Amino acid sequence: MRDIIRFREAYNWLQLKRMQIVVVVVCALIGIFLVSQLRVQESISKNLQEESKQNLGEIIRDLDIEVRLLQKEERDLEIRLLKYENAAENQQSILNEAALNLENMKMFAGLIGVKGKGVQVIINDEQKFLNCYDLMDVVNELKAGGVEAVSVNGIRVKAMTGFKDDLEGHVIVNENKIEPPFIIKAIGDVETLSQAVGLLGGVQYVLTSYEGVTFEVLKMDNIEIPAI
């Protein structure tokens, strides 16, 4: 009987022990689960995947704004680039124009030789009747006709060229005495130039009315006028 009681006690004690072990194990499992889950949740909260829809919307809006700002910046930079390119182009064109102007100025100033189409006016004056004003008239007519370069007997006529007479009846151009026949070379538009001098009542008409004066206009394809 006593044995039976003792067995019972032992059995009960074992039962209790098993129960306790089970409880401890289960609680330990719950603890492990809880900790792992909390850890995962913490890492997830940083994850885009689990963001709430509102948060995602906010993120998208923020990114949209950023994209728009970057696009605006790109546009601004493009505009600036375009401006710089334009400026460079403008500078280039200004430079080109300046070079052209310089070339024209040099041409007018007689600093460079000129070649091209033009007219050649040959005036013969056997009786030395003509004076400097007659020659000036011819040159001025040619200039009015848009001449690019003129020379009289090989002397380049530039902006500051003077014509005068000396006491012996010679015409002096740029301190050089010249004698008939006067050969005036002019480069420019051939038709305009020949019409300028050949106008009815113009310089040719007047000069040829003098005795012993011949006036000839030749249209030339290739005239060369030297620099001063």
Partner 1 sequence: MLPLIGLLMGIALGLILKIPIPPSYAKYMGVAILAALDSAFGGIRATMEKKFDDKLFITGFFSNTILAALIVYLGDRLGVEPLYYAAIVAFGVRLFQNIAAIRRHIFKSRHWE
Q: Which are the contacts of 109, defined by CB distance < 8 A and separation ≥ 6?
A: 158, 159
Q: Residue 52 or residue 209: which is nearer to partner 1 going by CB? A: 52
The sheet that has 171-173: what strands, in order across it? 163-165, 171-173, 176-178
Residues of span 38-67 touching partner 1 by CB under 8 A? 39-41, 43-44, 47, 49-50
* Span interacting with partner 1, options 32-40, 55-63, 96-104, 220-228, rule CB under 8 A: 32-40
Q: E strands of 40-198, at which residues?
A: 114-125, 149-152, 155-157, 163-165, 171-173, 176-178, 182-187
Closer residue to partner 1 in complex, CB, 44/65: 44
State in angstroms the smallest separation of the CB of 57 from partner 1: 20
Stretch that binds partner 1, among 12-20, 92-100, 183-191, 200-208 (CB under 8 A): 12-20
| Adjacent-strand bridge partners of 199 | none
Shortest distance (Å) from residue 40 CB to partner 1: 5
User: Which residues make beta-bridge pairs with 121?
Assistant: 184, 217
Provide the binding-site residues for partner 1, judged by CB under 8 A: 18-20, 22-37, 39-41, 43-44, 47, 49-50
